[in-house]
């Protein structure tokens, strides 16, 4: 399998200064990174805590895990699993952390390696799995799900106005095997010029469905608060409105008027990237950071 040796250098952590400001790392603090990726945020946080042995790094992607294992050699714990399973394990172990970070979604290597199947500018297999051990791929969805089920995925996770037409075209074109075939099929339904590729919504929807992104997030958030020590800080970065809505509602509820509110918001409004970061890291364009502290 082709693998870019410098793929870690291709992932620039987003909103790094803001994440550090929100998490406010203190010497000796413990840290849980639920989406450690290529370790950009983790390295910065651990350089403040100077306590790599009290850091736990999670990622569901084997390539990211290999990279984390070469960068973090000492007592740092590294878990190759989805963050729901990892969080449940840590809760069962009664672990508590001073800082928790979830930088959701895909990494630049996912988006830049055609073979991972997230990309439509260069053709690759219809894969889109973050965890390559998983059986469900985008190819399985487009070639075996009913037209109604595909329509629902495109509407719900892509907010695609022509969901039904695209789903019918997919069913008529089976079998589809490459990202280029799928992108071309959607482009025929959306002819004409637009700033973003017309298949962007379809690809986002399939990616969310393949990786159960919203389901895992909704079920994990309560566990993350259980894992915070009193006074502990949590920061979550989301990259699309569906994800941000889940995070916003959850934090607002737990920090709200209820008698058992156990959080205080550190960000009344989400933090977004400024113009300087946007020039050097276009992936930061849709990033929104929300943070809270446990009472």
Please state the closest distance from residue 236 (CB atom) to ligand SAM, in A. Answer: 11
Verify binding: residue 67, ligand SAM, rule CB under 6 A. no
**Binding residue count for ligand SAM, defined by CB under 6 A:** 22
Least separation in angstroms between CB 169 and ligand SAM? 29
Q: Give the long-range contacts of residues 282-285, CB within 8 A, separation 24 or more.
A: 283/12, 283/14, 283/108, 283/111, 284/14, 284/15
Nearer to ligand SAM by Cβ, of 103 and 127: the residue is 103
Asked whether the bond before 175 is cis by omega within 30 degrees of 0, the reply is: yes
Q: Note whether 80 binds ligand SAM by CB under 6 A.
A: no
Q: Of all residues in this chain, which one has the CB nearest to ligand SAM in the complex?
A: 37
Q: Which tokens belong to 45? A: 């946080």
Residue choice 21, 91, 216, 278 for contact with ligand SAM (CB under 6 A): 216
Strand partners, 258: none
Q: What is the DSSP letter of 155?
A: H
Residues of this chain, 84-103, that bind ligand SAM according to CB under 6 A:
103
The minimum distance between CB 31 and ligand SAM, in angstroms, equals 12
**Spatial distance between the Cα atoms of 133 and 22, rounded to a whole number of angstroms:** 34
Q: DSSP of 168-232, one letter per residue?
A: HHHHHTPSP-BHHHHHHHHHHHS-S--SS-TTHHHHHHHHHHHTTHHHHHHHHHHHHHHTEEEEE
Site for ligand SAM in 118-147 (CB under 6 A): 130
Among 18, 29, 82, 98, binds ligand SAM (CB under 6 A): 82
> What is the per-residue DSSP string for 229-288?
EEEEEEEEEESSHHHHHHHHHHHHHHTSSSTT--EEES-SS-B---HHHHHH-GGGGG-E
Which residues pair with residue 103 across a beta bridge? 237
Is 105 near ligand SAM (CB under 6 A)? Answer: yes
- Lookup result for tokens 């992607």: 61
Q: Please identify, using beta-carbon distances, which residue of 29 and 61 lies nearer to ligand SAM.
A: 61
**Nearby residues of 216 by Cβ (< 8 Å), 6 or more positions away:** 82, 83, 84
Q: Indicate the residue among 1 and 172 with the shorter CB distance to ligand SAM.
A: 1
Within 17-56, which residues bind ligand SAM (CB under 6 A)?
35-41
Least distance from C-beta 75 to ligand SAM, angstroms?
20
Considering the complex, what minimum distance in angstroms separates the CB of residue 257 from ligand SAM? 31
Q: Which of residues 18, 51, 60, 289 is near ligand SAM by CB under 6 A?
A: 60
* Min separation Cβ 269 and ligand SAM, Å: 21
Interface with ligand SAM (CB under 6 A)? 11, 13, 35-41, 58-61, 64, 82-83, 103, 105-107, 130, 216
């Amino acid at each position: 399998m082709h693998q870019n040796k410098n793929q870690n250098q291709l992932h620039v952590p987003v909103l790094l200064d803001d994440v550090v400001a929100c998490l406010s790392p203190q010497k000796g603090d413990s840290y849980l990174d639920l989406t450690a990726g290529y370790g950009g945020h983790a390295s910065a946080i651990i350089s403040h805590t100077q306590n790599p042995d009290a850091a736990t790094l999670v990622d569901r992607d084997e390539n990211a895990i290999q990279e984390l294992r070469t960068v973090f050699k000492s007592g740092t714990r590294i878990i190759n699993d989805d963050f729901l399973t990892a969080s449940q394990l840590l809760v069962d172990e009664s672990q508590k952390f001073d800082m928790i970070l979830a930088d959701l979604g895909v990494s630049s290597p996912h988006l830049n390696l055609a073979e991972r199947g997230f990309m439509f500018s260069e053709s690759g297999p219809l894969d889109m799995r973050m965890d390559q051990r998983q059986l469900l791929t985008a190819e399985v969805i487009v070639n075996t799900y009913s037209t109604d089920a595909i329509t629902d995925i495109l509407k719900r996770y892509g907010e695609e106005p022509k969901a039904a037409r695209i789903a019918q075209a997919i069913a008529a074109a089976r079998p589809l095997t490459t990202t280029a075939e799928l992108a071309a099929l959607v482009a025929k339904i959306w002819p004409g010029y637009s700033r973003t590729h017309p298949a962007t919504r379809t690809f986002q929807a399939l990616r969310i469905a393949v990786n159960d992104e919203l389901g895992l997030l909704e079920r994990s958030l309560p566990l993350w608060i259980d894992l915070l020590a009193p006074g502990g800080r949590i920061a979550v970065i989301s990259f699309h409105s569906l994800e941000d809505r889940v995070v916003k509602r959850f934090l607002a509820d737990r920090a709200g008027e209820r008698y058992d509110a156990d959080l205080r918001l550190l960000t009344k409004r989400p933090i977004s990237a400024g113009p300087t970061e946007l020039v050097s890291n276009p992936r930061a364009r849709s990033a929104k950071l929300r943070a809270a502290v446990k009472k």
